[in-house]
Amino acid sequence: MKLATIILAAGKGTRMKSPYPKVLHLLAGEPMVVHVLETARTLSPDRILVVVGYKAELVREALRNYPVEFVEQKEQLGTGDAVRRCEGALADFSGEILVLCGDVPLLRPETLEGLLAEHRRRKAVVTVLTAEVEDPFGYGRIVRDERGLVRRIVEEKDASEKERAIKEVNSGTYVFQADYLFSALKEIRPENVQKEYYLTDVVEIAVNRGLPVAAHRVPEATEILGVNSQEERARVEGIFQDRLRKKFMKEGVTLILPETVYLERRVRIEPGATIFPHVVLRGETRIGPEAKVLSFCYLEDVEVGPGAEVGPGLRLKGWQVPPGTRLIDWGFKG
């Protein structure tokens, strides 16, 4: 079955207190929306649509090298309205539609694979990704019936006191059958506290039509963290950095004080390499096996050959360090 992905990236992000669109704030040196897009691409979707709005030209420029289609939401009238703007572009599309938020960058590919698998197993028209959290404040709550079936999603501002006590929350990530999605979106109304068109309303519409609705719970709740403030961005950055460090250590890389090492998504470090404290590795940097990067080095797009040693305290960009050499100060040392 064909798969299309819609990434919602139209918001301003008022609480970020920034002149930039929220999705362009950096996570490990790249805009958050790039992380979302790269994760989506692991599913090999047939089409990827990005909904833009606030300073749309900046988002288009950031994604200029990606094979995506842009859809504009000129007024931010809610997630339901944003997805509805894609109907024209997907008029001839028949299959599944994955909806992702451009400010939720920690989702793992295997989580989305599990979501799709559950959607297909249940033959659902809509499947929502959920999480169990200790503090559900701000999230839409998943309302289930006595049989445990999802009945609706209620937003924080519209929830009753009883509903606010629910700890299973909506991640903002869904899979829909295309034909159902766009027919249901015609029925949603901005009859809520925020006067917006909620995408969540299509869940209750499906239930009322007697159509199958499913939910897939994410194994690790931090995956659904969204970014709405600079503090939240910093928290997400910390989680992402910790993931990268643990990944490399599991593969056999020695990080002397891992919490002091900064890494980016495209960095590669071979097993047996040693990274000393307070090192920054950026871009397409490659560290070979048995190589050492000493403290306070900044390497961007640098290739360090097997057994080489760099630093301490060097700032390099675009260099190649031959195998087995020692680079200290500004020259090669034997």
For 134-193, the pLDDT digits (tens) are 999 989 999 999 999 999 999 998 899 999 999 999 999 999 999 999 999 999 998 788
Identify whether 243 is part of a domain. Answer: no
Same domain, 219 and 265: no
Please, how many CA atoms are within 13 Å of residue 111, restricted to the half-sphere of its CB? 24
Same domain, 194 and 256: no
CATH number for the domain spanning 315: value is 2.160.10.10
- Which tens digit of pLDDT belongs to each residue from 55-113? 999 999 999 999 999 999 998 899 999 999 999 999 999 999 999 999 999 999 999 99
Contact 261, 275 (CB under 8 A): yes
Identify whether 241 is part of a domain. Answer: no
Q: How far apart are CA 123 and CA 125, in angstroms?
A: 7
Q: Which two tokens stand for residue 13?
A: 């992000």
Same domain, 269 and 328: yes
| Structural domain count of the chain | 2
Mean pLDDT of the chain: 95
Q: With pLDDT > 90 as the criterion, what percentage of the chain qualifies?
A: 92
Identify whether 109 is part of a domain. Answer: yes
Identify whether 240 is part of a domain. Answer: no
Same domain, 152 and 287: no
15 part of the active site: yes
Identify whether 323 is part of a domain. Answer: yes
Is residue 329 scored above 90 in pLDDT?
no
Q: How far apart are CA 148 and CA 161, in angstroms?
A: 20
Pick from 253, 144, 31: nearest CA to 7: 31
C-alpha 70, offset from chain centre: 18
What is the structure's pLDDT at 328? 83
What is the structure's pLDDT at 330? 56
What is the structure's pLDDT at 332? 47
- The dihedral over CA atoms of 140, 81, 175, 153, expressed in degrees to the nearest 10, equals 20
Identify whether 93 is part of a domain. Answer: yes
The three-state (H, E, C) secondary structure of the chain, written as one string: CCEEEEEEECCCCHHHCCCCCHHHCEECCEEHHHHHHHHHHCCCCCEEEEEECCCHHHHHHHCCCCCCEEEECCCCCCHHHHHHCCCCCCCCCCCEEEEEECCCCCCCHHHHHHHHHHHHHHCCCEEEEEEECCCCCCCCEEEECCCCCEEEEECHHHCCHHHHCCCEEEEEEEEEEHHHHHHHHCCCCCCCCCCCCCCCHHHHHHHHCCCCEEEEECCCHHHHCCCCCHHHHHHHHHHHHHHHHHHHHHCCCEECCHHHCECCCCCEECCCCEECCCCEEECCCEECCCCEECCCCEEECCEECCCCEECCCCEEECCEECCCCEEECCEEEC
Same domain, 257 and 209: no
From the list 15, 209, 268, 315, the catalytic residue is 15
Is residue 200 scored above 50 in pLDDT?
yes
| Residues spanned by the domain of 192 | 3-224
- The dihedral over CA atoms of 84, 216, 23, 317, expressed in degrees to the nearest 10, equals -140
- Which tens digit of pLDDT belongs to each residue from 290-317? 999 999 999 999 999 999 999 999 999 9
Q: How far apart are CA 262 and CA 158, in angstroms?
A: 41
Same domain, 264 and 142: no
What is the structure's pLDDT at 192? 81
CATH number for the domain spanning 77: value is 3.90.550.10
What is the structure's pLDDT at 184? 97
Q: How far apart are CA 153 and CA 248, in angstroms?
A: 39
The vertex-219 CA angle with 213 and 224, nearest 5°, equals: 75
Same domain, 207 and 281: no
Neighbours of 66 (CB within 10 A): 13
What is the structure's pLDDT at 195? 85
Is residue 219 scored above 90 in pLDDT?
no
Is residue 214 scored above 60 in pLDDT?
yes
Identify whether 235 is part of a domain. Answer: no
Pick from 55, 59, 54, 66: nearest CA to 5: 66
Determine the longest span between alpha carbons in the chain, in angstroms: 75
Identify whether 237 is part of a domain. Answer: no
What is the structure's pLDDT at 307? 98
